[in-house]
Amino acid sequence: MEMHNFICGLPKAELHLHIEGSLEPEMMFALAQRNGVTLPYASVEAVRAAYNFSDLQSFLDLYYAGAAVLQTEQDFYDLTAAYVQRARADNVCHAELFFDPQTHTERGVPMATVFAGIARALRDAREQHGFSSRMILCFLRHLSEEEALATLEAALPLREAYADLWIGVGLDSGEVGNPPEKFSRVFAKAREFGLHAVAHAGEEGPPPYVWGALDALKAERIDHGVRSEEDPELMRRLASDNVPLTVCPLSNLKLRVVKDLREHNLARLLRAGLCVTINSDDPAYFGGYMNNNFLATAEALQLSREELVQIAGNGFVASFASDQQKQAWLSELHEYVSAH
Ligand code: HPA
Ligand code: ZN
C-alpha cells in the first residue's frame, strides 16, 4: 500500500490538542456574528494571513484574541463537534483535549458553560460514533498560582458531573519565565483529587523546566519536551521512567522551535527509546490536523513504516484510557497493519 494512504488510515490517539486552537477562521467569523463581537479582521483570508508567527508568544496573542468569540454553551459545543469531525476523518479514535477555562472565565463566561458545551459534544460523539475522549483542564502559566488555585476550586464541584470525561490537569501558555515550580501546590491539590497531571515543558524552555514538570508537578506526560535532548541525564530519566512526550511537529515549525521540519529531533528522540507521540496542538493555527502532522513528519524525517506504527501505538499506550481499552486499540492497530 502506498505510504500516504497507509499513514492516513492508521488508527490514532491525539493527546495534545487545545480545543481553543481548533477554532477555524470560518467559525471565528460565524461566532463573532452570532455573538455581536467585532473582530480586528476584515475577512477569513485576513485572519489566515495574520497567522505568521515568530515564536510562542506571537501565537498566543492571536489565540487568546480569537477565543473571545466563544461565549455560550452552544459555541463550545460547535467548536468541539467540529474538532471531532476533523479528528474522525483522520482516523483518530481517542482524543484527550486540553481546555483553558481562565481564557473564558476572565471574560465572564462561567466555568460550567465551558464544561457543559465541550462535554455535550464529546458525549454525543461517543454515542453516535463510538469516539472516545477525555478532558484535561489547563492552567495558564503566565498567570499566578493563586489564580490557578481559584480555577481548580471553581472546577472541583463539577468533578462528579463530568467524571466520565475530566481526568486531569495541565499547564500551558508562555513557558519561559514561568517554570513548573510556580504551580507545585495547585498540582499537588489536583493530584489529591485523583486527577492526572501533565505539563507543557521543553518547548521553548530549557531542560530544567522538564525536570521541574517531572519532580515538582509529578507530570505523567511531557507536552512537547523536544528540548530534553539537550540533557543526557534527562533523556535517561524519560526513557527509564517511560514518560511519554506529546510532540507537535507542525506547531514546532510554525512557532520556529525548528527552522525546517527536516531538522526536527522527533526521530532521534524515538530512536533513543523515548515514548514519542505525534499530535496537532492548535491545528487551526498551525496548518494541519493529525494526518497532516504524520504525513509531513514521515516525509521530512523519512520515518519507516515500523516507526510510524510505533508512534501510532505509543499514542494509545500513553493515553489515560484503561489497560483493557488500550489493548483493544493496539489490536485494532495491528490488524490494520497486517491487512495493509
Ligand atoms: N504551548 C503553550 N501554550 C499553548 C500552546 C503551546 O503549544 N498551545 C496553546 N497554548
Ligand atoms: Zn500545546
Instruction: Determine the Cα–Cα distance for residues 269 and 243; give it in Å rounded to an integer.
Output: 12
Start-to-end Cα distance in the chain: 6
Q: What is the pLDDT along the chain (340 residues), one digit of tens a residue?
A: 699 999 999 999 999 999 999 999 999 999 999 999 999 999 999 999 999 999 999 999 999 999 999 999 999 999 999 999 999 999 999 999 999 999 999 999 999 999 999 999 999 999 999 999 999 999 999 999 999 999 999 999 999 999 999 999 999 999 999 999 999 999 999 999 999 999 999 999 999 999 999 999 999 999 999 999 999 999 999 999 999 999 999 999 999 999 999 999 999 999 999 999 999 999 999 989 999 999 999 999 999 999 999 999 999 999 999 999 999 999 999 999 999 9
Predicted pLDDT of residue 239 = 98
In the structure, which protein residues have their CB atom closer than 6 angstroms to any atom of ligand 1?
Answer: 18, 21, 56, 63, 172-173, 200, 203, 251, 281-282
Task: Please give the tally of structural domains in the chain.
Answer: 1
175 is annotated as an active-site residue = no
The boundaries of the domain holding residue 263 are 2-339
CATH code for position 183: 3.20.20.140
Predicted pLDDT of residue 1 = 62
Q: Tell the residue number behind the cell numbers 498566543, with chain if given.
A: 60
Which residue of the set 14, 24, 175, 203 is catalytic?
Answer: 203
Nearest to 141 by CA among 102, 193, 91: 102
- List C-alpha distances in Å: 311 to 189, 198, 274: 32, 19, 10
Instruction: Determine the Cα–Cα distance for residues 203 and 257; give it in Å rounded to an integer.
Output: 7
Q: What is the value of pTM for the model shown? A: 0.98
**Which protein residue has the closest C-alpha to ligand 1 atom 4?**
173
> Parallel, antiparallel, or unpaired: how do β-strands 166-172 and 12-18 relate?
unpaired
